[in-house]
């Protein structure tokens, strides 16, 4: 039986490509880089809201606005961390398959 480690490595490569889109490695709208680049804009909108009306409702909305922005960034970072872990596991699995294939073919 032949085990094809390259097919498994291709999966890791595809996961890496998706990770690049999410991380904004090539800066893309909706990536974490885009979200972080707009931190100042979010802060300015929040301040503007508070300057219009300093009622409890406005303060609550502004706090929710800030918290949701922070949560989005945290989720993005967690997703990227999990992608990195998945890629490492897939690559390790490919190495195991390669060793198994080598052993089956008498190479080890």
The residue assigned the tokens 């595809």 is 14
Identify which of 4, 2, 8 has the alpha carbon closest to the alpha carbon of residue 104.
Answer: 2
Residues 34, 105 contacting (CB under 8 angstroms): no
CA distance 38 to 24: 13
Residues 69, 42 contacting (CB under 8 angstroms): yes
So what's the pLDDT on residue 67? 92
Q: What is the pLDDT of residues 51-85, one digit of tens each?
A: 887 788 888 988 998 899 899 889 989 999 998 99
So what's the pLDDT on residue 82? 92
CA distance 105 to 5: 14
Q: What is the pLDDT of residues 1-60, one digit of tens each?
A: 666 788 888 888 998 888 888 888 767 787 888 888 888 888 888 888 888 877 888 889
Indicate the pTM of the whole model: 0.70
């Amino acid at each position: 039986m032949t085990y094809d480690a390259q097919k498994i490595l291709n999966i890791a490569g595809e996961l890496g490509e998706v990770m690049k889109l999410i991380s904004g490695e090539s800066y893309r709208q909706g990536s974490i880089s885009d979200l972080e680049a707009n931190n100042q804009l979010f802060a300015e909108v929040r301040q503007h809201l508070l300057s219009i009306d300093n009622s409890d409702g406005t303060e609550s909305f502004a706090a929710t606005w800030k918290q949701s922005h922070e949560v989005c960034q945290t989720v993005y970072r967690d997703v990227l961390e999990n992608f990195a872990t998945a890629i490492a596991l897939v690559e390790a699995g490919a190495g195991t398959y390669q060793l198994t294939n080598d052993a089956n073919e008498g190479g080890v």
